Amino acid sequence: MQNATTEAPKQDVILPMREPYMTQILEETKRYEFRKYRMADTVKRAWFYRVTPISAIAHVGEIAQPVTRRELLKRENLENGDETPEVTHVEEQAEVDEQIRQEESGGW
């Protein structure tokens, strides 16, 4: 039994999802969902809350250990034998650069 001063590790998270992203996840054409916050490493399951017009938790699924974009790019590029990360869309690269700046400055 947990005492009043310690919390159980967070194993579940509720993720609000908009279309078309939820459908892409269900169809397995979208493999990653990035958030502006870091999820606890202990999270194992995501409850997907479909926003308007559904406004309900519609799906639940087991997830891999949460990682940042930077960690993901490093892992993906190392597995592919690449030295430097490449991102196909300019907007994505700008987001990655911003996250790296935030992480280095301790802003996240």
* Owning domain of residue 76: 68-108
Interatomic CA distance for residues 25 and 17, integer angstroms: 10
Question: Is residue 99's pLDDT more than 70?
Answer: no
Strands (E), 1-108: 12-17, 45-50, 56-62
Q: Is residue 81 part of a domain?
A: yes
Answer yes or no: do 34 and 55 share one domain.
yes
Q: 7-57 pLDDT, tens per residue? A: 888 899 999 999 999 989 888 888 888 888 888 889 999 999 999 888 999
Answer yes or no: do 43 and 18 share one domain.
yes
Answer yes or no: do 95 and 56 share one domain.
no
Interatomic CA distance for residues 62 and 48, integer angstroms: 11
Q: Is residue 1 part of a domain?
A: no
pTM for the complete prediction? 0.61
Answer yes or no: do 32 and 57 share one domain.
yes
64, 25 contact by CB (below 8 A)? no
The total number of structural domains in the chain stands at 2
Question: Is residue 1's pLDDT more than 60?
Answer: no
Answer yes or no: do 79 and 94 share one domain.
yes
Answer yes or no: do 37 and 49 share one domain.
yes
Question: Is residue 103's pLDDT more than 80?
Answer: no
The dihedral formed by the CA atoms of 78, 108, 67 and 39, expressed in degrees to the nearest 10? 180
> Which residue carries 């034998």 as its tokens?
81
